[in-house]
Amino acid sequence: MINVLVIDDEKEVGTFFYHLLKDKGYAVTLGHSYKDSQQKIMERSYDLSLIDVMLPDGNGIDLLKEMKKTHPACKVIVMTGYSTVKTAVEAIKFGASDYIEKPFDNLDELEELIDQLLKRPATPIESDLEILADRVGFVIGEHLEMKHLVKIAYKIAKKNVNVLIEGETGTGKEVLAHFIHQASLRSENPFISMNCGAISESLLESELFGHEKGAFTGALKEKKGVVEIANKGTLFLDEIGEASMATQVKLLRVLETGDYMRVGGEKICKTHTRVIAASHVNLAHAVAEKKFREDLLYRLDVVKLNIPPLRERKEDLPLLIEFFLKKLESPLTFSNEAIELMSQYTWPGNIRELFNVIKRSVTLAEDEVSIITPPFLPDKIRHSKIHPTKLLSVQKKTDQYTTHFEPYVMDKVKQILMSWKSDQAIDLDDILQEVRQLEDLIGKAFVTKALKETVGNRKEAAKMLNITERKLRYLLKEKGHFHS
């Protein structure tokens, strides 16, 4: 028997769902307040719950959290008024499967949604979204924050809400926008991408809204703008922060009412496009600096998705490398040392830069070798200097490193001191002599690794270690740091 809990303080809503669901053969429990529903959540388990976000004695989102904690498999639909769509999107972040707006004017759609949710197996969404991601060429990876973000993107894709994607250059904002479009009900209609920072102000306006014949010198024919072409589809506005204040006002109008005018035109036109905006600058900061309209930001960031930079999702490097090698139809692979160097690099250009590096290495290595080794990587990656402690300290889960050598060494010294009893006589000179030997050992390990990486090329090895070739020769001769 399927158990459903409907939580709403409006009696009519409860009664409506009671009859609708009872007729389908489900067992329905009604909750009328926060307190009362809390009790009902504790009493038994449910397969589905419909929760009103605004209860007189509490917040429906908190009940959603409790439900998810107590019965993780229970599907939740939150119910909201239009003005609280932002809250509903929040609910999705906390695990709601979907949200519906009150009043319910499409009952067939509502029934369909409930049936679909109850039909789905326990973790369906992951496989659905993975199939779609595969189709659009979007690597999700293993990074938890990224996985969560894609799940939210997938869930809100079917809703007609605007989305704001923030992230450094090359992190995949456009690919994510495309993924959202493909997951939406608009996927049969056009996805149009426009970079607001790439063209001049006057051209941007006519590209966005179109122009009438004779609107300006050179406007020989009338032209459709992207808001018109992407009508019923998705309009991806990259670098929205670059749009002038005047264009921002016009965009705001499009977002509020769908209305716009072609350049040189007098007729008000309407579009039903969905806007996904992106920016590599933090738009809230731009608002504080008065470079971006607050009301426009408010309209845009109904859903805000922040893509982490590649240096924070290094665990995804192998998957991305594999994906790009396949895309380039290359049979080559990267050696472990090459991958290690790539994971030490900070990737300021993010995934775009990674793709370019892979393309370059493949071109250089093709017909020469079957495994791409460090010499085929660009200098910036081979010689990207990392702080020695990054090598010596244990990498923590959070990818944080201690920033100085000293604490690491002091920790070891403390351990040694603890085992030294003050009544034991020691010889400090002997100890310092041992430390110098250790220094040699560490030096040897670095030199050996550098020579291995550069396949014995001393010039390259010296460069990698940031020492002169003379010093390297000295180390090899005097200290016996031979290449083993």
Residues near ligand ATP, by CB under 6 A: 137-139, 167, 169-175, 238, 278, 280, 323, 351-352, 355
From the CB of 358, what's the least distance to ligand ATP, in Å? 11
Q: Which long-range contacts (CB under 8 A, 24 or more apart) does 320-326 make?
A: 320/139, 320/141, 320/351, 320/354, 321/354, 321/358, 323/137, 323/139, 324/354, 324/355, 324/358, 324/359, 325/358, 325/362
From the CB of 234, what's the least distance to ligand ATP, in Å? 14
For residues 410 and 128, what is the distance between their CA atoms, to the nearest angstrom?
51
From the CB of 453, what's the least distance to ligand ATP, in Å? 27
Cβ nearer to ligand ATP, comparing 201 with 322: 322
Cβ nearer to ligand ATP, comparing 177 with 263: 177
CA distances from 422 to 411, 425, 432 (A): 19, 8, 18
From the CB of 339, what's the least distance to ligand ATP, in Å? 17
From the CB of 316, what's the least distance to ligand ATP, in Å? 8
From the CB of 162, what's the least distance to ligand ATP, in Å? 17
For residues 383 and 377, what is the distance between their CA atoms, to the nearest angstrom?
10
User: What b-and-e string marks burial along 275-310, b requiring 16 or more CB atoms within 10 Å of the CB?
Assistant: bbbbbbbebeebbeeeebbeebbebbbbbbbebbbb
For residues 410 and 144, what is the distance between their CA atoms, to the nearest angstrom?
34
For residues 422 and 410, what is the distance between their CA atoms, to the nearest angstrom?
19
Q: Is 137 left (phi over 0), alpha (psi -120 to 50) or beta?
A: left
Name the residue with the smallest CB distance to ligand ATP. 172
From the CB of 281, what's the least distance to ligand ATP, in Å? 10
From the CB of 170, what's the least distance to ligand ATP, in Å? 5
Tokens of 470: 């003379």
Q: What H or E segment, with its residue span, contains residue 48?
A: strand 48-52
Q: Is 207 left (phi over 0), alpha (psi -120 to 50) or beta?
A: alpha
From the CB of 351, what's the least distance to ligand ATP, in Å? 4
Cβ nearer to ligand ATP, comparing 59 with 346: 346
Cβ nearer to ligand ATP, comparing 285 with 479: 285
Cβ nearer to ligand ATP, comparing 4 with 194: 194
Which is nearest to 73 in space by CA: 27, 29, 121?
A: 121
Cβ nearer to ligand ATP, comparing 60 with 167: 167
CB 156 within 8 Å of CB 303: yes
Cβ nearer to ligand ATP, comparing 33 with 169: 169
Cβ nearer to ligand ATP, comparing 19 with 326: 326
Cβ nearer to ligand ATP, comparing 207 with 460: 207
The pair phi, psi for residue 419, each rounded to 5°, is -85, -5
Interhelix angle 317-327/336-344, nearest 10 degrees: 120
Partners of 238 in the β-ladder: 195
Cβ nearer to ligand ATP, comparing 143 with 253: 143
From the CB of 243, what's the least distance to ligand ATP, in Å? 15
CA 357 to chain CA centroid, Å, is 21
